[in-house]
Structure 1
């Protein structure tokens, strides 16, 4: 099962990345809704360092694993975790309503915010972050979503700093997050 998850997210079955660095948050333009029903956009993230991950609530392995990893990183940071905007943006707005996002992020660290919205706005957000996603039909007529599995890190001014890769160990992830907070 792990192999299948790798294949769909990071392996040969995933869409190819654009090969470009994410735009600064100040250059992005999209409108979404957070899991509490508030309108949000890239400007919401400027003023504090940000950690952003794209995924979806029906994801069988990569998304819950990454959100659990993020929760662990935040716990390892102690008091400093309150300085971060930690955002989980859905790539499956058809199923990930505001209510679904609220329930899902409730299983993880309380700093994690869920964002959803119209598909065209999610596509605009993904384009700015240089993330990819693609809906893929599965056996039985259901679907899954292939997507970028990295966590994007931005400093308080909205400048892209680094990424944390899927399954990156805490020993390298937390220093990267702290660097974004400097």
Structure 2
């Protein structure tokens, strides 16, 4: 009986060691940002982000390398959005301000998913109002779609009323994406995250990079 108990105890210890190894080694303990993450992505963070080519407020063509030359907080929205986009973009701008007061510079980026109406000039006015360092990006429908697909976002224009073809709304996802130059996408933030919480988590990622 004692021998059976000993064998069972040994087996349990071996099993526990195996589980611990799996959880720590195979489940992401080698992730340098593990202590900062509050969200998870199916398949890993590498499933989100990637190259894109867009047009900035000055009409200049830029790529993801130009945009993510420093830590950047990216949001996909549109300037005609009546409520969600301005509130989210303002929250992001506030988080950037908090970080700047701590000596950490993060670039706020607003990518339009409404290229038909969001001209570079329109974006320049919109982003300047929200934050002087916010970068507004638009492009052709194909360029915008490619950028949206890279970040796994969703958008779809609603059918406008007859005679009001320019007054349509656009349904879209509302995540904000933190990207780092050497790592690409590292984290996303939902709408219920406050500016202070966002700033703290962004700081964690930057400190760990």
TM-score by length of 2: 0.70
Q: Matched residue of 1:143: which SS?
A: coil
Query: Could you tell me which of 125, 139, 143 is aligned with 1:121?
Result: 143
Q: Could you say which residue in structure 1 is the equivalent of 2:172?
A: 147
2:108 maps to which residue? 86
Structure 2 CA distance, aligned partners of 1:46 and 1:71? Answer: 17
Q: 1:24 to 1:83 in 2, by over 3 A?
A: farther
Does residue 50 of the first structure (1) align with residue 76 of the second (2)? no
Shift of 1:159: 2.5
Tell me what 1:181 maps to: 206
- The answer to whether the 8 Å contact 2:158/2:168 transfers is yes
Q: Residues 11-50 of structure 1, C-alpha deviation per residue, up to 9 Å, x if partnerless?
A: xxxxxxx96656465xx23321111222111111344111
Secondary structure at 2:174 match in 1? coil
Counterparts in 2 of 1:1-182, with a 5 A limit? Answer: 21=45, 23=47, 25=49, 28-79=50-101, 83-139=105-161, 141=164, 142-182=167-207
Q: Match for residue 26 of structure 2? A: none
**Structure 1: which 4+ aligned runs deviate by more than 6 Å?**
none
By how many angstroms is 1:91 displaced? 0.4
TM-superposition CA deviations, 1:93-120 (whole Å, max 9, x none):
0000011111111111112100010011
Residue 15 (structure 1) aligns with: none
* TM-score of the pair, normalised by structure 1: 0.79
Contact preservation (8 Å) 1:155, 1:161: yes
**Superposed CA offset, 1:132-175 (max 9, x none):** 11111244543111111110001221422111111311232111
- Contact conserved, 2:96 with 2:108, CA < 8 A, in 1? no
Query: Which structure 2 segments of 5+ residues have no match?
Result: 1-40
> Alpha carbon RMSD of aligned pairs, Å?
2.3
Bigger mean CA offset, 69-78 vs 127-136? 69-78
Report the structure number with the largest CA radius of gyration.
Answer: 2
1:47–1:30 CA distance, 2 compared to 1 (3 A):
closer
Q: Which has the higher contact order (CA 8 A, sep 6+)?
A: 1
